[in-house]
Each structure stands twice: as C-alpha cells, then as structure tokens.
A and B are shown apart, each in its own frame.
Chain A
Amino acid sequence: MTFKLAASPHTHSRRTTQQVMRWVYLALLPGVLLQTYFFGVGVYVQILLALATAWLAEAAVMRLRNRPIAHAWQDHTAIVTAVLLAIAIPALAPWWVIVIGTLFAIVVVKHVYGGVGQNLFNPAMAGYVLLLISFPVQLTSWPLPSELAQLPLTFGDTLHIIFTGFTQAGHNLEQLRMGVDGITMATPLDSLRQDLGQAMTLTESLTKPIFGSLGGIGWAWVNLGFLVGGLILIKQRIISWHIPGGMLLGLLIPAAIYWLFHPDQAIPPLMHALSGATMLGAFFIATDPVTAATSNKGRLIFGLLIGVLVFVIRTWGGYPDAVAFAVLLANMTVPVLDKYTQPTVYGHGGRS
C-alpha cells in the first residue's frame, strides 16, 4: 500500500481568507445598522446593488481570464469591497453611481492588476474617488438624518428615488435634503468647511441644526458603530491595532494642536474623530491587508500617514472628507515602507 504524500506542516489554523473576510463584513454590521437608522434603508439598496454588480463583474472577469469563477467568489473579498463602497456613498445616490463605482473597483482596480492580493490601490476607495471626481454632486448629496428630515421616506420612495430620481410623491433629492428653513443641508464636515472658509467662527457654524452634540447628528453614532466593529476585529486578531491606532493618532494629534492655536477656526478633534468616514476608514478601509504595509512598524507609519493626510485635506483641501484620498496616497508608499521597515532577522544583530 502506498500513502499520500504532503508537505509539512500537516495541520492548519483553519482560519481561511473567507473567514477573515466574513469577520470583516460582519464587524461592519453595527455601523451599517446605525447608518440605516439615521439615513434610511437606501443603505441596504446600495449594498445589494453593489453586491450584485461585484459578483457579476467578478464572474465575467474570471471567465475572461480563464480562471474558475468559484475560486474568486469563495474568498469573499469582493463582498467586502462592495459593501465598503456602498456604505461610503450617499444612501439615496442614483443606482448607476454605485454600479459604475463597483465595476471600476472590481474590474480595473482589482482584476486588471491581477486579482485578489495583487492590487496596489484599495479597490473600494479607488472606486469612491472615481465617483467623487466624476459625479461630485451625487457623491456629496447625503440625505438628512431622519431626525431632521421634513419629508417622510418609505421603502417604496427609497427605491423610487434611487432608480428614477424622484419619490412616489414626485419630490427630488434636493427637496428631500431641505431643512425646516427650506435650505439644503450639507453634511456636518461639508458645512463646517464652507462656513470656516467664509470666515464664520466655529461657534457660529455649530449652531446649525445638522450639528447635534458630537460630530453631527447621526454621524457620531455611525462612527461609534464602526469603532465598535473595529474593536471586535482587533479582539479577533483579524486586524492589528497599528493601522487604526496610527491613523487616529496621525489625525487627532495635529488636529488638537491646530485647534489649540485656532480654537474658533478649526474643526475640533472630537469632531474629526466622529464625523465623516474617520472610523470606517481607520478600522475597515486603511486596514485592507492587500494594499497596506505588512510589518507592524510599517503599518504604524502607514496609519500615521493616512491620519495626517486626512487632517491636512480636511483643513486646507478642496474636499470635505479626505479618507479616500489619504488612503490612496498612502497605498503608493507601501512598497517603500515595506522595504525600509523590515524587522531584524534572528541572528542578524537584533536584541531580544
């Protein structure tokens, strides 16, 4: 009788890529549920659209590349990309926005570079930036938090507005976004940037109804949701603390210093931490292993770099939020970071 040959080790931790990815999208749940609570079921519609597009696009590309389709579907990386992009864009954005973004993310950013593990740039963020540059209006038209919305929005309305641009009653997105005073409301970060740019003081700007207590109504809760999910991932050792820790430090330290010197013209640090895509970016986007640095030292620098870039772009840049740009810029530094942050190998002069 002959026996089966195999290479050692003959045992495995049984944590597969699929499980890792499953943890990632399950950890998104608290944030996604809160986002749905504040911004409506449109979030789900966007996620479903993104998932369908991602699966179909991936199947088509795998077929073109003569590779087994199931192979790509199995690792669940496309699910993470799709969900991240879907929750990054406004919940009521027209359907073609998410479809174009997802197609670009999966086909160009991921598969043109060679598929999972080979891409230089974070697919979800590259897709987001493509959309932001191409469709700035749609990408900044966030619906009002449910507490402030003047017009009620049913599920049917949500579908209607995503697919036709109008609710069943004939209101368009602009009308939905009007506050009680009849003025369209921007996101907290957006209004702050505009106000501070127009020489208003922080105190004046913060009197607007969109700002609740912390980082803006709804936004603070959504960020806290993603923070909880992120901490779960760290606990489960899916991600290490280095990237989120680095990013939050890189953002908050300069923000705090700047705020101390310009207390009435700067975004307060807490607002930085709990608005926009800060927590989503720190725990779920910047931590994408494929496009991040690989050593712990490199990860810390990578995170710090993103944080500083977010602070710089939010403070002086032309866009209200900056996570996507910061992540893509940091992605470009990864090969250099990896080269110069190699740990000292055993027996090469390192200390215990």
Chain B
Amino acid sequence: MTIAIKEIDSGQLWNFPGGIHPPERKQLSNQGSITPLPLAQTFTIPIKQHSGAAGDIIVAVGDRVLGGQPLTHAGLNNGLPVHAPTSGTITAIAAGRIAHPSGLADTVITLTADGEDTLVTMPPLLDYREHGRSELLERIKQAGIAGLGGAGFPTAQKLALQRPIEYIIINGVECEPYITADDCLMREHAQTIIDGIEILLHLAGCDKALLAIEANKPEAIAQFEQLLPQHPQIALRVVPVKYPSGGEKQLIQLLTGQQVPSRGLPLDLGLVVQNVGTAYAVARAVLAGEPLIQRVVTVTGEQVSQPGNYWVRLGTSVADLLAHCGFQPTPTQRVIMGGPMMGFTLPDLAVPVVKITNCILVPSHAELPPAGPEMNCIRCGACADVCPAQLLPQQLQWLAKAKDYDGLEQHHLFDCIECGACAYVCPSEIPLVHYYRKAKAEVRQLAREKVKSEIARERFEARQERLEREKQERLERHRLAAEARKRAQAEAVAKGADDPQDAIQAAIARAKARKAAQAAAAAKQSDDESNV
C-alpha cells in the first residue's frame, strides 16, 4: 500500500463507511474558558496511567515531595514515570481504586498537599533543534507523556521507532458527543499546539503534518487558520461531522484514503497519529520543562450546575472535581468517565483523574435515558450500515452469544474498535459492544489458557524425558561401577593379592566343617542317651 501523496497534499478528503450523528451537546461545556481547578487536599496517583509497564516507586511514605517531582522511575522497557501533582507529603502507598471499567485496584501513591504548591521543572530546551534526538525523546519520556487522546501509549516510544514517516496526523477531531476538552485547548493554546507539532515533526524527521479538526469547532478552526500561514509544514483539514471520525483508523481513512492493515500500525503506512493535547504537553515539556501533572477535563451533563472545562491536576479524585462543579446526583445516577459513546461508568467517586481522563459526564435521566430492555434481534441490519469497520455486528452478536470463537475469528471480532455505533442504532437495544467485549475477553482468556496448558504439557513431557534419561543414566552408572569393580579385583588378583573368591571358598569350607562337627557331636550325644 502506498499513500497517494499528491491527492493528500491537494487537500482531498476521503470518506469512511458507516458512522452516526448522535446529538453533540457540546455547547453545554464549551461556553467559557478553561478554569484551573482549586487544589484538592489529597491526591491519589496510580503508578500506571499509560499502556505499558509501571515504573519503580522511588519515594517512601513520609517523604516530602515537590510538585512535578517524579514518584516512579521508568524502567528500560515501555515504562513512564508519574509525578507529584503538587508539593506535599506521601502518606500512603497501597492498592487503591483506579480508573478502570471493572473497578480494578492497582498500586496508588497518596499525596497530602501542603497547600504551597511548590513546583519544580526541568531545564527548558528552547533551542531544541540543537539537541540530539535521543535527548528530546528522553525529555518527553521523563515528562511522563502518554497519548492524551485515550489509549495512553507512551509518546516517546511511538516516535522512537526508526521508520520513514510521511505525515504526522494531529487529531483534534474530538467526535465524541459532550466532550470539548480538545476544542477549548485548541481555542486557547493554538500556538503552543503548533509548537508541539513542530517538535514532533523534528523528532519524526518528517516535514508534513495534517491537523484534523471536525467542522463543528469553528472557533478552534479560526484560530489555526490565522496562525498556520506562518507554519507551512502544517496543513489544516476540516473533517465533516460524523462519529467516529476521530477514531485513529477512521481519521487515517478520512485523510489519506488508506486503511491501517488489520493487526498493523499506522506506521506501516508511514503515519503517526498524535492527539492535540499530546502536542500541547510535548511543547510544555520541551519548551518549559514541565512534566505532565495536569490536563484539561470536561465536566458536563445536566447534573452539574457548572459544566465546563477545567485544568485538573492528575490524581485529583472525581469526587473533588464534581464537588467543585456543583454535582447533584439523582437516585440512579450514572457517572461516566469519557463520553456517552465509549466512556465507562464509575462505581464510586474515589477514582482519580489520570492522563487519559478527558471527560466526566453526569447525565440526567432525561438527557441520556438508561437502556431499555434487550429485545430480540430483527436482523434489520442497521448495525452493519453504521459500522465504520464494515463488520457484521449482528452476526458477531449471534456468534458471541453462541460462544462460537472460530466464527468470531472468521468475522474479525478483533477488528471491532468498540465505537458503539451499532448499539446506538440497534432498535432492539441490544448492548452489542458489551457482548463483543465479553467475547474478546473470553477469546483472550482461552488463548492464555491454551498457552498455559501448552507450557504445562511441554514441562510434563520434559520431566518424563528427564526421569527416563536419569534412570538410564543411573543404570548405566551402576553397570560401569560393577564392571570397574570386577576389573579392579581381577587386576588385584593378577598382581598377587588375595583373590576374594579364595576367602569365600575358605569361609564356605569353614562353615561346612563346623556343621559337620556339630552333626558329629549330636550323633555322639544320642548314642550316649540310648546307651543309658
């Protein structure tokens, strides 16, 4: 597959199949500017906030730390450090609630703030073009930057792969309803984002970036239209409003007409995709030396009285965030981390805001009514019409319910991006994505078990082999020892030593003589008795 550079440079846009137009409801939260959230008293910082391994904890309970000071040390592999969001004292390091759909626990560091908010930064690298590539990548890694768009892939790692890159795609689409964090960031910090894009271009050794913004963000678009003429490397692409045009694979299809190969990476097409928030964080890390300790979070929904966008320090609990925004829960309230299409509900509010948290949505019943009862599928095919991956959601659903894992494989279950468009349109309100997630987990579990049983089988066979081998070796050793003994004896006899056989023969003779003597004595005694 080769990229049609001429068409892309001419500004051509392609289309992707399917997609939906759910109510956007973005005006609820994008009216004001981004407000810094007042500091909380305690912060809980999960040590793993990206996709990859957690770093090693380098602080202990009782330590006093400054804001921006690393709390973990990234290992050699795909680790990233986390930083203290403000100055204070480490009061606990233990298992705690993290932002995870299943309410999973992980190691979290609890920080009690001292209220002074003393921050430390790394030295700025204003002349970044003079610094080596590895130094810049190390800076981005030390700043703890992971993809802020949702997946949380370490940014430096994405850029470190030595492959030719045609375009860097900067994702400012934000197609998920309600969320306006990227929109407001683009409105207020367009120049910093551009700086970040230039750093990314420098690192990638490529000279073309495509900045994609959905057509429903006119203010953000106007900002870039004004600034971009001075930055010819960056081309603005206004993409039509359709969910999920901000999905990485769909955006690539929109901008380049290409499809990322199944199980492949955008890099296979010579593309790297980064979120606008990530570009902003990269600029701050390189040009200001700031580690990633805060991000923009949209707080929205009709159950908060002050919806909007907030600069939130990472580790702030959702409870603190919502309390500040005037949260009034209803009896069966749902608190959604993320948007209405792909977000997950939180069981309680102790969960902290992390690097990938872009939105907290607390809807009223009226605006997002809870799902109705699941009815039978009527095979209407509405799901297949909207599926951006061109899957057959309906067939997948039958196969998932039947636990037909081979069939699921044939229908490419793992190419599902879980965007939720199918479930959104399903007239029978079947929670399709839920079934796919469950089936994926089951398939993964089966694969794990298969690997485990394969390992167990190999170990068992190896053990049997070893036992047999040891037995043979033992027998062989005994045989050799016996032979050596005999040979040694024979040699000793030949050298004139006593033949052990002689001693045996002598012993036998002695025993026979003794028995004969006893028999003779017994005979003599009986003769004497009979004589009496």
Contact = CB atoms under 8 A, between A and B. Distances in A.
Nearest to B386: A13
A43 to B, nearest CB: 26
A213 interface: no
Interface in B423-449: 423-429, 431, 433-434, 437
Nearest to B178: A11
Contact of A346 (B349, B389, B420): B389
Contact of B253 (A116, A294, A352): A352
Contacts of B431: 7
A27 to B, nearest CB: 15
Interface stretch (A16-24, A98-106, A255-263, A278-286): A16-24
A140 B467 CA distance: 86
Given A6-B334, A347-B259, A117 B343 contact: no
A289 B380 contact: yes
Interface residues of A, number: 46
A212 B162 CA distance: 78
A118 interface: yes
Contacts of A342: 392, 411
Interface in A7-48: 7-17, 19-20
A343 B263 CA distance: 18
Contacts of A8: 338, 340-344, 418, 420, 423, 433-434
Given A1-B329, A7-B434, A346 B249 contact: yes
B405 interface: no
B486 interface: no
A3 B329 contact: yes
A289 B433 contact: no
Contacts of A1: 329, 348-349
B388 to A, nearest CB: 7
A277 to B, nearest CB: 22
A347 B20 CA distance: 20
Interface string A62-73: 000000000100
Contacts of A291: 379
A237 to B, nearest CB: 8
Interface in B336-352: 336, 338, 340-349
A11 B376 contact: no
A3 B420 contact: no
B376 A118 contact: yes
B75 interface: no
A3 B348 contact: yes
A14 B366 CA distance: 12
A347 B260 contact: yes
A77 B420 CA distance: 26
A16 B372 contact: yes
B32 interface: no
Interface residues of B, number: 75
B89 interface: no
Nearest to A342: B392
A347 B261 contact: yes
Nearest to B376: A117
Interface in A138-163: none
A348 B332 contact: no
A115 interface: yes
Contact of B376 (A20, A116, A292, A346): A116
B127 to A, nearest CB: 41
A6 B345 contact: yes
A352 B14 contact: yes
Interface in B182-217: none
Interface string B400-426: 000000000001100100101001111
Nearest to A6: B345
A13 B15 contact: no
B51 to A, nearest CB: 19
B378 A348 contact: no
B380 A12 contact: no
A344 B384 CA distance: 12
B40 interface: no
Interface string A264-299: 000000000000000000000000011110111001
B347 A3 contact: yes
Interface in B223-251: 249
A6 B370 contact: yes
B368 A348 contact: no
A199 interface: no
A169 interface: no
Contacts of B376: 75, 115-118
Interface in A71-121: 71, 74-75, 77, 115-118
B96 interface: no
Contacts of A117: 376-379, 428
B390 A345 contact: yes
B28 interface: no
A145 to B, nearest CB: 36
Nearest to A350: B259
Contacts of A9: 340-342, 420, 423-424, 433
B412 A3 contact: no
A352 B371 contact: no
Given A5-B347, A10-B363, A75-B375, A344 B340 contact: no
Contacts of B258: 352
A6 B368 CA distance: 12
B347 A12 contact: no
A338 interface: yes
Nearest to A295: B384
Contacts of A295: 381, 384, 392
B496 interface: no
A5 B22 CA distance: 22
B186 to A, nearest CB: 24
B378 A11 contact: no
B311 to A, nearest CB: 25
A2 interface: yes
Contacts of A338: 395
A289 B378 contact: yes
A345 B389 contact: yes
Given A17-B375, A352-B14, A240 B385 contact: yes
23 contacts: A2-B347, A4-B345, A7-B431, A8-B340, A8-B343, A8-B418, A10-B361, A11-B368, A12-B369, A15-B425, A16-B427, A17-B375, A17-B427, A71-B375, A117-B428, A289-B378, A294-B381, A295-B384, A342-B392, A346-B260, A347-B249, A347-B259, A347-B415
Given A240-B385, A289-B381, 4 more contacts: A8-B338, A19-B427, A117-B376, A348-B262
